[in-house]
Amino acid sequence: MQPKKLKKLKKQFKPETTFTSSYLSRIVGYQKLYDAILPIKLLLNHILNADHRLQNGLEPQPLPPLLLPDNIQDVIYEYVNQQYAPKDPRGDALWELLINPLADLDHDLRDFRDYLSSQYGMWAYTNAVFLQDLSTYLAGAPVLEIMAGNGYISAGLRARNSSQLIYTTDDTSWLNENATGKHPVTTIEPLDALAAIDKYGNQVAYVIMSWSPDGLDIDWQVLQKLRTKYPLVKFLVIGEKDGATNSTIFWQNADLTLVPELNVYYQSFDLINEQVYLVK
């Protein structure tokens, strides 16, 4: 194919934003490029919808696995063949245009959690349906959230039950590494996890902890304190067993029970298999 014709075809399909700009701009660029490739378009729409809702102070909706289908090249091949006859060089050019960015697209789909954490300070993806399930499960019982980050869980519970007693705490030490913590979504009391339990342990029925750092044993210290001083308090933990969250000693010693009604819509959207556990 002549270089001039190839350049014209690429210009026809080229997204308005480049893939070297910001994460969200790249997602918008992919959306334009793959507008006719439905499996990809739907994944990108989910990302953009989640970002739009968070940007406007709304809870995001559940996400499907943000992974390219195994047969995506077959889907693209079929689409190209519908546009151009076999051996038409324009079809070859379109094929290359759609195939070449797939590796970068796959990487960016898997990086959505990193984008959420850096942009919004959200590590555990607390979607609207899960928050409703959690509120129903707690049935108005008094709750202490420790290591609450920006407070997405507590904010969701307060929005559903304004009379529920909810203590939201975080020592804010992570602000030194991530400035997004300067924009909490609810009121957060500056207490570390152990101090928060000492203060409120006798006043709550549940303690909630999500995405405890994997390099610290504070989760194990919390579990020991609950076992010895507050054995009647129920401990809900959101994390990936033996994976991206919590300490090794915690997973080795925790008595874990998956909570079915809290894991229906709290499902992994990437390679991190986070779940909701009742821990003793």
DSSP states along 128-145: HHHHHHHHHHHTT--EEE
Torsion of CA 260, 125, 247, 263, to 10 degrees: 0
**What integer pLDDT is reported at residue 180 of this predicted model?**
62
Domains and CATH numbers, the chain: 3-120 (no CATH), 128-279 (3.40.50.150)
**What integer pLDDT is reported at residue 172 of this predicted model?**
80
Distance between CA atoms of residues 141 and 255, nearest Å: 22
What would the pLDDT profile of 176-232 be if each residue is shown by its tens digit?
666 565 689 999 999 999 999 999 999 999 999 999 999 899 999 999 999 999 999
Asked whether 174 and 202 are in contact (CB, 8 A), the reply is no
Per-residue confidence band for 173, with pLDDT thresholds at 50, 70 and 90? confident
* Mean pLDDT across 257-271: 96
Q: In this structure, what DSSP letter does residue 189 have?
A: B
* Mean pLDDT across 41-58: 97
**What integer pLDDT is reported at residue 91 of this predicted model?**
97
**In 84-207, which ranges are continuous DSSP H helix?**
89-99, 102-110, 112-120, 128-138, 152-160, 193-200
* Mean pLDDT across 259-276: 96
H/E element holding 207?
strand 206-210
Q: Smallest Cα–Cα separation from 61: which of 278, 220, 266? A: 266
**What integer pLDDT is reported at residue 182 of this predicted model?**
61
